[in-house]
């Protein structure tokens, strides 16, 4: 039987280790700098995949309600200085109404029968919630 040659680290191994270390540092920097403001909290309302309204929530002095109609269904959406909520809908499942208030960028309310989406963009990046639960 032939014995295997002795493996020794060479210059390419050091280069690969340096590349992995640089990528790890870059990912860590992106993670730790993600907590700043990324613009005012804005509600974007889309119907059938097309944006139909944008509401900058910080510009509101008090609650404001707007009505949207799509695919034969009507939704009444309440906007406040820090949140958005579907208050009334004539869709059969009422999932959009039961969703409650959304308050952080990235959250959304979807009414599938009406094909209307209310999504929040901007605001402070949220770092206080649970991202993943295993087990």
In what order do the strands lie in the sheet containing 108-111?
50-56, 42-47, 116-121, 108-111
What is the mean pLDDT of the segment spanning 1-24? 83
What is the mean pLDDT of the segment spanning 71-100? 91
What proportions of the chain, in percent to the nearest 5, are helix, strand and coil?
20, 35, 45
Q: Is the pTM of this model over 0.85?
A: no
Instruction: Say if 12 falls within a structural domain.
Output: no
CA-CA-CA-CA torsion for 129, 61, 108, 93, nearest 10 degrees? Answer: 120
Query: What pLDDT sits at residue 119?
Result: 92
Instruction: Say if 27 falls within a structural domain.
Output: no
pLDDT exceeds cutoff 70 at 5: yes
What is the mean pLDDT of the segment spanning 110-126? 84
Q: Rounded CA gap, 126 and 120, in Å?
A: 12
pLDDT exceeds cutoff 60 at 133: yes
What is the mean pLDDT of the segment spanning 20-29? 87
- Split at pLDDT 50, 70, 90, the class of 131 is low
Which residue segment(s) compose the domain that 64 sits in? 40-119
Q: Which of 18-32, 55-69, 85-99, 115-129 has the lowest mean pLDDT?
A: 115-129
Instruction: Say if 115 falls within a structural domain.
Output: yes
Structure tokens at 90: 């004539």
| CATH number reported for the structural domain that contains residue 62 in this entry | 2.60.320.10
Instruction: Say if 3 falls within a structural domain.
Output: no
b (16+ CB within 10 A) / e for 47-59: beeeeeeebebee
What is the mean pLDDT of the segment spanning 31-54? 80
Instruction: Say if 87 falls within a structural domain.
Output: yes
Give the chain's mean pLDDT: 84
Total domains present in the chain: 1
């Amino acid at each position: 039987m032939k014995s295997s040659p002795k493996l020794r680290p060479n210059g390419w191994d050091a280069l690969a280790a340096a590349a992995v270390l640089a990528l790890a540092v870059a990912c860590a920097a992106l993670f730790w700098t993600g907590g700043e403001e990324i613009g005012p909290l804005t509600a974007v309302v889309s119907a059938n995949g097309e944006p139909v309204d944008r509401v900058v929530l910080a510009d509101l002095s008090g609650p404001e309600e707007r009505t949207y109609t799509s695919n034969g269904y009507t939704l009444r959406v309440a906007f406040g200085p820090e949140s958005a909520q579907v208050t009334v809908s004539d869709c059969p499942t009422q999932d959009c109404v039961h969703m409650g208030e959304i308050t952080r960028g990235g959250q959304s309310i979807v009414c599938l029968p009406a094909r209307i989406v209310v999504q929040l963009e901007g605001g402070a990046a949220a770092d206080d919630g649970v991202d993943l639960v295993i087990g």
